[in-house]
Amino acid sequence: MATPPERQASNADQACVACKRQKRRCDKAVPQCSLCRRTGRVCVYSDAADPPPTAAAFAALQTRLGELEDRLNTPPNTFTADTSSPAESHRTLSDVGGARNSGQSTVSPSLPMVSDQQELEFPAALFLDIDCFVWARIQMPDPSVGIPTDVLALLSQGNVVVDTSADYFSTIHTWMPMVSKMRMHLGIPVRNGGPDIAMLFLAMKLITAQADEVADGTLYSIAKGFLSGLEGSAVVSLLCLQAMVLIALYEYSHSIYPAAWMTVGACARYADILGLSCGEIDVTFMGQTTTWTGAEERRRVWWAIFILDRVISMGSRRPCSVAEPPPDGRLPVDDETWDTGDVTRAWGHAVSTHYQVHQSYYARLCQAAIYVGRAEAWARSKQLMSSSRLTELMSLTDELSGFSAVMDSTPGLANTDSFIRLLAPRCLVRSALFIALDSFTCPEKIIPQAGYIVSSGAKTQEELQMQSRSMQVIQQASRQAHSLAMELSATIELDESLRWQLGKVSPFILDLIYCSMATLHWLLGENGDEVNKSSLSDLEPFMDMLGKRWRLSMKYVEILTFHDVSRRTRNNSEY
């Protein structure tokens, strides 16, 4: 039997951070309390009564993190430093962000804003007088920013950096490849980065976490706080933007609003600062990249923001933040080619390339997002309906249907990896059909604004023809969505590993499933067709399954209760 002093030594003095925030009972067990162990979240103790951690403690954390970075980024017997001095070539993640040669730790309990000692000021001329910024050759500051202790503690636990990176590149990267796998493997971001590389790893950890692991919001809050601190300390880099994109993707995937909408808009502004584009890259801020892999990475980050910008506007039909890509802009090259750095196959097609030309998975996703943007622009338009407008809509419908058919006939879809990676663009292009044709499917004439407001006027003959065509297309898209969902369910059922890696399935597919289910509910309420009822019964457990990974799925399920005729109250049953 343990004596009281022995029992006391095994416990922390105060509750862990997560239990404090949730006001939950904490048994204060170390190194992890029972509640954190049960929920699988990171357990961090912070005792305000204790003195600040010593420099030795910080150094131990830095050393541990440096070891993890070495394991992640240094291929055996192939590491060669490309820096000018031995001290620079061995900088670790926590070294590169702080005061160099100062003899002090670069880690701080909280990320400070720019201090008088740092004397850092972002060059306002970049925004106030760009011509002056260029001809005066004003240099960007090298911010001396520490990494918060809670961030460093998270990245120093076990093999978290290695495991997070491996998890990220085997899941999220397969359908949103915007972080260079090859450059990360070569260790370039770590050697050239500062606290921004820590921010990127933290964002990777956030987006790869299961829904129940981040339910309390602790990791999300830490990531958002760190990102905000970096912005306030004048840290502007591609690594920071990539982290911001992953946070925006996390917010969208878990239905965190209005944060998701705001973060995507911030990404668009950030990309403008860095001069990113799918066409000619503005090198005023970042300078010229020396490798094709790096140039392609910049383009892919811009495309990731463009995709998110179009996707996040699908349900609200609000204006987008990113301009349409120019016709002579470039689509991403083959994904495997970029991942391996194979310059012999680095062929990038123009944005204007016809959809019948074979493209890689990410390029298909970009093309689908372009069509989503066109559908959104059409739906937002306040122009009076005319023959030319209806002809334009018919042409767009034909293109969307044709693009869907081309992707459906892509060779190799019997392969599980190909099927899953192409699923997002196949679903998005059908989502575009719902966006464009939504108001025309109703037998009543609908005013072009939110809420399905019925107009008193009658439809013209052309509008009636468009109504008939729209119903055929939407019903077909709903059936196809059901088929895709059932095929994915069967694939997951057969593949044991996929059940534990649902992050390979993009949340971009969920809008189509939701639109299809809403349509099926509508048709069921109109005609009571048992086929529609059966399809809904199939799709409900499918949404529950994806809800275990992406909380957005469960939010869609909640909204579907307003479409379910069996659950409507008398007050809202007519519309």
Q: What is the pLDDT of residues 69-87, one digit of tens each?
A: 565 555 444 333 333 332 3
The string over 158-194, giving b where at least 16 C-beta atoms fall within 10 Å of a residue's C-beta and e elsewhere, is eebbbebbebbbebbbbbbbbbbbbbbbbbbbbbbbb
φ/ψ of residue 467, rounded to 5: -60, -45
User: What is the Cα Rg of the chain in Å?
Assistant: 26
Q: Which residue positions in the chain have pLDDT lower than 70?
A: 1-10, 20-24, 38-41, 46-120, 142-144, 188-193, 447-454, 456, 568-575
Contact 370, 353 (CB under 8 A): no
pLDDT at 190: 62
Residue 269, amino acid:
R
Determine the Cα angle at 249 with ends 184 and 192, to 5°: 25
Both tokens of 484, joined, read: 């895709």
How far apart (Å, rounded) are the C-alpha atoms in residues 156 and 58? 11
pLDDT digits (tens, 9 = 90+) for 432-471: 999 999 888 887 777 666 666 667 678 888 888 888 999 9
Both tokens of 119, joined, read: 């004397």
How far apart (Å, rounded) are the C-alpha atoms in residues 252 and 424? 15
How far apart (Å, rounded) are the C-alpha atoms in residues 371 and 389? 17
pLDDT at 575: 41
pTM exceeds 0.85: no
How far apart (Å, rounded) are the C-alpha atoms in residues 523 and 472? 13
Domain ranges of the chain: 4-39, 120-353, 382-572
CB-count exposure of residue 130 (10 Å: 0-12, 13-18, 19+): exposed
